[in-house]
């Protein structure tokens, strides 16, 4: 089974009109705020979305969609449960300076980063995975959450996906 959350370059209008979260056999779109409980009892929360820094070069409804950014409405719909693992598209605001360093200049915080900081305050997961930045990096957030930024698959690296560690393993 493969599960994924939206990024910032999805066709959000097609995602909205889907009949099922299973978009192909064994491939599941996990909408913002959706959860999945692993057989070992750990709960994963998915939260897609991020701002496109190149949206001024894109066309609305073709390769840019206003729904790309996490909204207050997405936050209000979140379940009141314990969450062990986050899978998001981008990172919380606290990690933006780390991800930007030596890579991008002028990247500012955007609403999705701030929303994810709020999610951390609500849930404080043990593990967090995201991929928006397209390069591999790991660290610890607030002395609690082990985070992993995944690389882009197109760069032929083995760090664009990882197996989840076993329960209790960090």
Alpha-carbon distance of 162 to 125, in angstroms, equals 17
170: pLDDT confidence band, cut at 50, 70 and 90?
low
First to last CA, the chain: 23
The verdict on domain 2-155 having CATH code 3.40.50.2030 is: no
Domain boundaries, the chain: 2-155
pTM, 2 dp: 0.90
Query: pLDDT per residue over 69-99, tens digit each?
Result: 999 999 999 999 999 999 999 999 999 988 8
Lowest mean pLDDT among 57-61, 134-138, 153-157: 153-157
Task: Tell me if 121 sits within 8 A of 145, measured CB to CB.
Answer: no
CB atoms within 10 A of CB 56: 7
CB atoms within 10 A of CB 69: 19
Taking 70 as the threshold, does the pLDDT of residue 124 lie above it?
A: yes
Dihedral sign from CA coordinates of 23, 2, 66, 57: negative
Task: Tell me if 113 sits within 8 A of 91, measured CB to CB.
Answer: yes
Taking 60 as the threshold, does the pLDDT of residue 162 lie above it?
A: yes
Alpha-carbon distance of 106 to 112, in angstroms, equals 17
């Amino acid at each position: 089974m493969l599960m994924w959350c939206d990024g910032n370059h999805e066709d959000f209008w097609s995602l909205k009109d889907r009949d099922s979260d299973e978009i192909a056999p064994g491939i599941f779109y996990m909408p913002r705020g959706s959860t999945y409980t692993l057989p070992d009892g750990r709960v994963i929360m998915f939260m897609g979305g991020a701002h496109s820094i190149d949206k001024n070069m894109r066309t609305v409804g073709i390769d840019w969609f206003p729904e790309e950014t996490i909204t207050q409405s997405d936050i209000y719909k979140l379940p009141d449960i314990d969450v062990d693992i986050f899978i998001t598209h981008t990172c919380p605001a606290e990690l933006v300076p780390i991800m930007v360093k030596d890579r991008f200049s002028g990247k500012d915080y955007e609403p999705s980063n701030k929303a994810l900081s709020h999610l951390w305050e609500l849930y404080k997961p043990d593990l967090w995975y995201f991929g928006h930045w397209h390069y591999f990096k790991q660290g610890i957030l607030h002395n609690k959450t082990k985070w992993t930024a995944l690389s882009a698959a197109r760069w032929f690296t083995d760090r664009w996906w990882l197996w989840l560690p076993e329960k209790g393993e960090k």
